[in-house]
């Protein structure tokens, strides 16, 4: 067995040692055989069920120049590794181990001390052995710490549009006014008018209702070229940072949410209010529709006739 093959199947700590630069030695901390029950996977059979996933992580660190003085606050805590795993698992349901490994590595590298991270993740219940991925990531000079929409500090305006509002001639002027405020803008809609297909399966009906909403999102995007349909948190955060108006296509975020909305997807306003909470929206406006009886933050409700003057 060659050295490369042996290292490919060795623990990440051995790979880290083999890649070490003798002229610039580093310190290491590691987490071994950390097993978590989690829902993850791209296949339908993996939805709605948890499976055991094992994590092995090695973090290479800059040596601390001053004496430690046995002070726990001067070293990178092992909890930093387990917290990075828990945070990324709680953020959203993921399809790929590769995505999870990348996010864990980025989160760890956003800390001051780490210089390189080795992450191995394995599914323990998907076959006769362990199925997994391993990645190595290094700090770069312009590394941006990992963040999600809420952590970015951007508080968008979330605007729900009824079907009457989508078709309104004043829509471009409403968007002009919202753009002028300087806040990121995210548009939400419900399904188009008309009877949607019906299924006896609750899970199937949920997807049908979400897809009906997404079809209407594309209708709205066709009304104004500034509106771009987005369906992932990454796309939405990029749009928020670059002044692009997003039209939310809800399927992926709703289906991948760890703590999903209690609202039925057919209740488009309630679903949009849940999304506003997820984004920590600074302003919520509903045009041409009623809001549920209980809301957790202020909502501005406008008729189509009054929107032009009240926005």
Name the region of 69 (left: φ>0; alpha: ψ -120 to 50; beta: rest). Answer: left
Q: What is the pLDDT of residues 4-14, one digit of tens each?
A: 556 655 677 77
pLDDT of residue 21: 62
Rounding to the nearest 10 degrees, give the CA dihedral for residues 238, 283, 91, 77. 90
Instruction: Give the three-state DSSP class for 17.
Output: helix
Spatial distance between the Cα atoms of 287 and 160, rounded to a whole number of angstroms? 6
Nearest to 234 by CA among 299, 174, 144, 110: 144
| 32-41, 140-149, 241-250, 275-284: least confident range | 140-149
Name the region of 33 (left: φ>0; alpha: ψ -120 to 50; beta: rest). Answer: left
- Token representation of residue 157: 């305006």
Spatial distance between the Cα atoms of 231 and 56, rounded to a whole number of angstroms? 31
- DSSP summary character for residue 156: P
Q: What is the pLDDT of residues 87-117, one digit of tens each?
A: 999 988 999 999 999 999 999 998 888 999 9
Q: What is the pLDDT of residues 177-198, one digit of tens each?
A: 999 999 999 999 999 998 888 9
Measured over the CA atoms of residue 141, residue 142, residue 145 and residue 146, the dihedral's sign is negative
Burial state string for 239-272 with b = 16 or more CB within 10 A and e = fewer than 16: bbeeebbbbbbbbbbbbbbeeebebebbbbbbbb
Residue for token pair 């909890």? 79
Mean pLDDT of the chain: 86
Give yes or no for residue 145 having a pLDDT over 50. no
Inter-axis angle of helices 97-109 and 78-91, nearest 10: 130
Q: What pTM value is reported for the model?
A: 0.65
pLDDT of residue 140: 64
> Please, what are the domains in the chain?
3-138 (3.30.1130.10), 157-310 (3.40.1160.10)
Give yes or no for residue 288 having a pLDDT over 80. yes
Q: State the Rg of the chain over Cα.
A: 24
Q: What value does the mean pLDDT take over residues 69-84?
A: 76
Give yes or no for residue 150 having a pLDDT over 60. no
| Cβ neighbours of residue 281 closer than 8 Å, sequence gap 6 or more | 155, 156, 157, 158, 186, 297
């Amino acid at each position: 067995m060659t050295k490369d093959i042996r290292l490919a199947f060795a623990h990440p700590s051995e790979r880290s040692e083999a890649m070490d630069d003798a002229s610039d030695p580093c310190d290491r901390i590691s987490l071994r055989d950390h097993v978590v029950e989690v829902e993850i996977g791209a296949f339908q059979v993996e939805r709605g069920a948890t499976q055991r996933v094992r994590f092995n992580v090695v973090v290479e660190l800059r040596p601390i120049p001053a004496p430690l003085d046995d002070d726990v606050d001067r070293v990178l805590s092992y909890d930093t590794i387990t917290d990075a795993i828990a945070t990324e698992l709680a953020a959203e349901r993921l399809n790929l181990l590769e995505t999870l490994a990348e996010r864990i590595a980025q989160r760890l590298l956003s800390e001051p001390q780490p210089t390189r991270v080795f992450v191995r993740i394995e599914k323990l219940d998907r076959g006769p052995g362990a199925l997994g991925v391993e990645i190595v990531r290094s700090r770069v000079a312009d590394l941006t710490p990992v963040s999600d929409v809420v952590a970015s500090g951007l508080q968008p305006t979330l605007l729900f549009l009824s079907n009457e509002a989508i078709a309104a001639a004043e829509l471009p002027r409403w968007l002009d006014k919202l753009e002028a405020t300087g806040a990121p803008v995210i548009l939400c809609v419900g399904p188009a008018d008309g009877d949607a297909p019906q299924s006896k399966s609750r899970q199937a009906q949920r997807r049908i209702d979400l897809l009906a909403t997404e079809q209407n999102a594309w209708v709205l995007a066709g009304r104004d070229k500034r509106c771009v349909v987005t369906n992932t948190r990454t796309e939405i955060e990029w749009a928020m940072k670059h002044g692009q108006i997003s039209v939310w296509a809800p399927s992926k975020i709703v289906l991948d949410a760890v703590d999903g909305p209690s609202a039925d997807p057919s209740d488009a306003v309630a679903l949009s209010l849940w999304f506003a909470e997820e984004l920590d929206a600074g302003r919520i406006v509903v045009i041409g529709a009623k809001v549920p009886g209980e809301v957790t933050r202020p909502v501005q409700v406008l008729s189509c006739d009054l929107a032009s003057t009240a926005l």
